[in-house]
A and B are shown apart, each in its own frame.
Chain A
Amino acid sequence: MALDFKALQKIKGNPSFEVAPNRRLKINPGQDYVYDMPKELIYKVNKDFSMENMLNQITNAGEESLSIQGTKFMTILIREADSERFQDRTAAMIEKVAQQTGIRFPHVFERYIELGILTLRPRDAWTVTEATTRTLKVRSYDCSLSKLLAEKGVKNCGLFCLAASKTAAEKTGITLDITCTNDNMGICEFTYLPQ
């Protein structure tokens, strides 16, 4: 046990008391918020970031341009996701909680990663396998972007996601150690560790 009798005697306080002034959030009666990602964000991001153009550029310029494209994609996504048109209550609450607690990882960062996946490959299967204040792991299954790139002879598709992730991390103001594991059987997992 973490506590014994003596240690427990030193614990003071009432669990129902507010941790800090103004920390308690109350229901705003009559408000009807939206929480999920609108399809319009997919249309807008794909209009500004053409997959066809990207594939052509990579065919011409080689794998190195994957990083440039990943950065470009995430820059567009962040611009749109944070615009007044596409801001949602989930984003507002994530930011509110980050301000109240001082903890910005994983969710301030994770939001951009998730919206990136949903806009770029909305039909793909993927999941978050760990999301603590120390580690974030995002796993994709049969990534459609990876398949498209493979058809063009590009093997190192992770460069795109790595660059996109770094751009999201910069925006969030967090330095991350980012690694990617790919089992070549269709499962790819990115691990993000704050430094």
Chain B
Amino acid sequence: MCWVCEKYGKGGKWYLNPENFARRLYKIRKEGKEAAGADADPQAAGMGAGVVAELVKARISGDREWENEIKREALEQAYQTHFGQVVTLDEYLQILDTAYPLAKMTCGCRRVQRGMPDEENFTCMGIGPGMYKWERWPETYRGGVEFVTPAEAKEWAMMNHKEGRVQTVDVFGTPYIGGLCQCEYPGCVAVRNRIDYDFKFLLKGHFVAKVDREKCTGCKSCLGRCQFKALNLEVYTSKAYIDLDQCFGCGLCVTACPSGAIQLLDRQSMPGLAENW
């Protein structure tokens, strides 16, 4: 179990615990800023985007201590408010039966990083009671929202998985899970910050993928699916190779393999990876 499970999982995985999706619909109205909800704009949360410029400066200067200090401070804040974790499709589908309401929305990361037009960018999902108040943040939801049933959401999640997006859960006020992302490198701020800067706003999932070399035919179907630079073709055997240290356990390679040669294994079952989140 990861540290979030230990704290909020109640004996299981924290993102499958219904308590972490439940929140009150109402509070007593206050005047001013809080009433407008300006304090909790989901887009402003940003998965570490706010400190990346400073991080780049630190990296260019070569001052590792400064870089680590920036990360430490930012993560301390993030783990109390806003961070994410990779989940498998199977877990994602379970979550869609646990959270409600479910609303398709546009991805703020892809909009900013890749200039995706709103009508082609419905790859995120806002979940939970906060979505009834989506109009509080017109810029975040400028593409609109689409409330869906759990069955419709599952179909949509599978389309995203097929297109090769990593599925994650996102916290908005730990441990409340208010968003489900489906994204890819380099469009996703969380994935990019983790891969390029080892900035742990995005935690690795509870699984790692392993190749069965007997079954692998070297067809290369899986190669383009990995968003974490963990998959390669071993030149001398012409078979897929997964760097377990780099693997986030999203399972995108598993469903891309026509020979069923890739399996997900429990991260905890591998001593060298058990604490590698």
* Interface residues of A, Cβ cutoff 8 Å to B: 1-5, 7-8, 11-16, 18-19, 23-29, 31, 33-39, 42, 89-90, 93-94, 96-97, 100-103, 106-107, 110-111, 114-115, 118, 122, 127-135, 137
Contact = CB atoms under 8 A, between A and B. Distances in A.
A36 B29 contact: yes
B206 interface: no
A25 B149 contact: no
B147 A118 contact: no
B174 to A, nearest CB: 15
Top 8 A-B pairs ranked by shortest CB distance? A36-B29, A16-B122, A130-B18, A93-B132, A26-B144, A15-B159, A128-B22, A131-B22
Interface stretch (B50-58, B94-102, B238-246): B94-102
Given A97-B101, A131-B22, A132-B18, A118 B133 contact: no
Contacts, number: 173
A127 B129 contact: no
30 contacts: A3-B255, A12-B159, A15-B123, A15-B160, A19-B148, A24-B145, A25-B145, A25-B146, A33-B136, A34-B29, A35-B133, A36-B26, A36-B35, A37-B26, A89-B133, A90-B25, A90-B133, A93-B135, A97-B147, A103-B101, A107-B25, A107-B100, A114-B24, A114-B26, A115-B26, A127-B22, A129-B22, A131-B22, A132-B18, A135-B18
Interface residues of B, number: 63
Given A94-B132, A103-B101, A128-B25, 13 more contacts: A1-B251, A5-B260, A8-B162, A8-B256, A15-B159, A23-B148, A24-B144, A24-B145, A24-B146, A36-B26, A38-B29, A90-B26, A110-B25
A106 B132 contact: no
B254 interface: yes
B27 interface: yes
A125 B101 CA distance: 24
A8 B161 CA distance: 9
A8 B101 contact: no
Contact of B146 (A13, A19, A114): A19
B275 interface: no
Given A2-B93, A3-B158, A33-B135, A103 B119 contact: no
Nearest to B254: A1
Contacts of B33: none
A126 to B, nearest CB: 8
B248 to A, nearest CB: 15
A39 B136 contact: no
